[in-house]
Amino acid sequence: MTGPAPLRLGVVGAGGFATFLTGALRDLPEVTVTVVADPDTDRAARLSGILAARPVPDWRALVTADDVDVVVVATPPAGHAETTLAALRAGRHVFCEKPLAITADEAVAIRDAVAATGRVLVVDHVLRYNPVLRALARLRDRRFAVPPGSDPLLGPVRRLAFENDASDEDLGPEHWFWDERVSGGIFVEHGVHFFDAADALVGATPESVQGILGHRTGADLVDLAVATTRYPDGAVATFAHGFSHAHRCERQLMRIDFGTAEARVTGWIPVHATLDLWTDDAGAALVEHLPARAADLLAVEGHRLRDAAVTVTVHRHAGPADARERGRPRQLPHHCRITLDLGGEAAKPYVYAESVRAAMHDLVRCVRTGDRPAAGVTEGATAVTVAAAAARSAREGRTVHLGRSA
Ligand SMILES: NC(=O)c1ccc[n+]([C@@H]2O[C@H](COP(=O)([O-])OP(=O)(O)OC[C@H]3O[C@@H](n4cnc5c(N)ncnc54)[C@H](O)[C@@H]3O)[C@@H](O)[C@H]2O)c1
């Protein structure tokens, strides 16, 4: 018996990330690339040659082509909205590289077009498809509580801090990344990944944001962007992105305060996390069972785990049972450490590619079932709205309050 025919992809933009992305889809039999568009005809010819696809110079011909079901938008950010809107209006599904758009107005127009056309749109927010972050969200979820009905292992997020000492080694002064009119600026071009990941971990969207920017000495160039968001239940997240490091000096750390637990996640593509927590008898029993439930804990549909491991240590009666936090009495006698590992730093390219593969798998699944994707237009539009508000806050030197839909 044969399955449904693969969805046919038309890829707009044949640059660095389109090459990585299409490589990640090589053994996803649910899709096949038929057309590649890039005004740089050498690039279009090179990538279409690798993929045995048809090169075209103009994306407008691609979005209406008979052999394209899904338009993959992989151009610099300023072009995303126009291409995405044209593709939706031509009845195509869209897989859009992040950011969904560079302004909140564009993002809202895309959200309206998705609603009007009923097409599926996935934004390539790869962190939504990362097994480590998915596991942390699950541990905050009651489904992983033992016995059912008891407290989740991780309480609500109180504070999240993402420190991103990123590299500018491949970003020469002429690169479009530095031109806010093309990239949208650091908050929009890069920050959307992390605003969105924080929303997934907190389980809510921010109500306000403050931004601040740092300029490179002697140059009219912003290479440091710091933002703080506040969520309706009082949780606060801080994001710092500094594009000023050699590759070898890149460092990323996400620290999450869950009250009775602290998570430290390393890598901007997370490949490792350590959780230190204090818990009660039910929590300690749950932790002891996590290695046996590792596949469920780390599962992301379409992401094939390789060399993944969950290890735990449980130190029962490591302290007195009685404790108080926020005025609430707690029983917290046991100290536990959990590590989630996807194969260490060496696994980063694999985990990255599998996250892209899982995002595309999600699009195919939603086309076939009518479900909502994990990183759909709502998540993409919210991240752009928050990022654009952070940039406005930095410009105007004031807190920006976001509406309920942000
Ligand atoms: N999801 C991720 O983790 C991730 C990582 C890196 C980059 N990206 C995103 O991927 C996108 C592309 O980035 P990149 O690094 O590949 O850039 P790039 O500069 O390497 O490639 C962009 C390509 O788009 C082409 N292009 C420009 N305008 C076009 C148009 N109108 N029609 C067709 N082609 C056009 C250019 O000629 C170039 O070949 C950006 O939105 C970037 O933010 C996402």
For residue 59, the CA-to-ligand 1 centroid distance in Å is 13
Could you give the angle at which helices 192-202 and 377-396 cross, rounded to 10 degrees?
120
Q: What is the pTM of this model?
A: 0.96
Among 36-50, 95-109, 134-148, 278-292, the range scoring the smallest mean pLDDT is 134-148
Could you name the CATH architecture of 7-127+357-375? 3-Layer(aba) Sandwich (3.40)
Q: Is the pLDDT of residue 2 over 80?
A: no
Nearest atom within ligand 1 for CA of residue 37: 33
Q: Is the pLDDT of residue 406 over 60?
A: no
Query: What is the model's pLDDT at position 15?
Result: 97
For residue 16, the CA-to-ligand 1 centroid distance in Å is 7
Share of the chain above pLDDT 90, in %: 91
Q: With a 6 A CB cut-off, is 100 part of the ligand 1 pocket? A: no
Q: With a 6 A CB cut-off, is 86 part of the ligand 1 pocket? A: no
- Cα 359–116–118 angle (5° rounding)? 40
Distance from C-alpha of 383 to C-alpha of 125, rounded to nearest angstrom: 10
For residue 97, the CA-to-ligand 1 centroid distance in Å is 8
Distance from C-alpha of 325 to C-alpha of 332, rounded to nearest angstrom: 11
Distance from C-alpha of 131 to C-alpha of 181, rounded to nearest angstrom: 34
Q: Is the pLDDT of residue 167 over 50?
A: yes
For residue 42, the CA-to-ligand 1 centroid distance in Å is 15
Q: Tokens for 45?
A: 């010819």
Q: Is the pLDDT of residue 146 over 70?
A: no
Q: With a 6 A CB cut-off, is 185 part of the ligand 1 pocket? A: no
Pocket test for ligand 1, best of 25, 36, 38 (most atoms within 8 A of CB): 38
| CA 386 to each of CA 55, 230, 232, 360: distance values in angstroms, whole numbers, following the listed order | 36, 11, 14, 24
Q: With a 6 A CB cut-off, is 39 part of the ligand 1 pocket? A: yes
Nearest atom within ligand 1 for CA of residue 175: 19
Residue with tokens 């995303």: 80
Q: With a 6 A CB cut-off, is 125 part of the ligand 1 pocket? A: no
294-344 pLDDT tens trace: 999 999 999 999 999 999 999 999 999 999 998 999 999 999 999 999 999
- Could you give the residue range(s) of every CATH 3.40.50.720 domain in the chain? 7-127+357-375
Nearest atom within ligand 1 for CA of residue 12: 33
Q: Shortest CA distance to 224 belongs to which of 210, 245, 208?
A: 245
Q: Shortest CA distance to 34 belongs to which of 60, 1, 62?
A: 62
Nearest atom within ligand 1 for CA of residue 125: 1
Pocket test for ligand 1, best of 17, 98, 175 (most atoms within 8 A of CB): 17
Q: Are 79 and 18 in contact (CB under 8 A)?
A: no
Can you tell me the mean pLDDT for 67-90? 98
Pocket test for ligand 1, best of 38, 68, 75, 123 (most atoms within 8 A of CB): 75
Q: With a 6 A CB cut-off, is 128 part of the ligand 1 pocket? A: no
CATH topology for 128-352 is Dihydrodipicolinate Reductase; domain 2 (3.30.360)
The residue count of the chain comes to 406
Residues sharing a CB contact under 8 Å with residue 375, sequence separation 6 or more, in sequence order: 122, 123, 124, 125, 128, 129, 196, 359, 362
Q: With a 6 A CB cut-off, is 97 part of the ligand 1 pocket? A: yes
Nearest CA residue ID for atom 19, ligand 1 = 15
Distance from C-alpha of 17 to C-alpha of 73, rounded to nearest angstrom: 10
Distance from C-alpha of 34 to C-alpha of 54, rounded to nearest angstrom: 6
Q: With a 6 A CB cut-off, is 76 part of the ligand 1 pocket? A: yes
For residue 192, the CA-to-ligand 1 centroid distance in Å is 16
SS3 track for the chain: CCCCCCEEEEEECCCHHHHHHHHHCCCCCCEEEEEEECCCHHHHHHHHHHHCCEEECCHHHHHCCCCCCEEEECCCHHHHHHHHHHHHHCCCEEEECCCCCCCHHHHHHHHHHHHHHCCCEEECCHHHHCHHHHHHHHHCCHHHCCCCCCCCCCCCCCEEEEEEEEECCCCCCCCHHHCHHHHCCHHHHHHHHHHHHHHHHHCCCCCEEEEEEEECCCCCCEEEEEEEEECCCCCEEEEEEEEEECHHHCEEEEEEECCCEEEEEECCCCCEEEEEEEECHHHHHHHHHCHHHHHHHHCCCCCCCCCCEEEEEEECCCCCCEEEECCEEEECCEEEEEEEECCCHHHHHHHHHHHHHHHHHHHHHHHHHCCCCCCCHHHHHHHHHHHHHHHHHHHHCCCEECCCCC
For residue 53, the CA-to-ligand 1 centroid distance in Å is 18
For residue 17, the CA-to-ligand 1 centroid distance in Å is 6
User: What is the chain's mean pLDDT, rounded?
Assistant: 95
| CA 78 to each of CA 61, 72, 188: distance values in angstroms, whole numbers, following the listed order | 19, 15, 11
Query: What is the model's pLDDT at position 219?
Result: 77
Rounded to a whole number of angstroms, the distance between the first and last alpha carbons of the chain is: 45
Q: Are 195 and 240 in contact (CB under 8 A)?
A: no
- Could you give the residue range(s) of every CATH 3.30.360.10 domain in the chain? 128-352
173-228 pLDDT tens trace: 899 999 999 999 999 999 999 999 999 999 999 999 999 999 988 778 999 999 99
> Where does the pLDDT of residue 404 fall: very low under 50, low under 70, confident under 90, or very high at 90 and above?
low
Q: Is the pLDDT of residue 1 over 70?
A: no
Q: Tokens for 82?
A: 């126009």
For residue 75, the CA-to-ligand 1 centroid distance in Å is 3
For residue 13, the CA-to-ligand 1 centroid distance in Å is 6
Query: What is the model's pLDDT at position 405?
Result: 46
Nearest CA residue ID for atom 7, ligand 1 = 17
222-263 pLDDT tens trace: 999 999 999 999 999 999 999 999 999 999 999 999 999 999
Q: Give 2 or 377, the one with higher predicted confidence.
A: 377
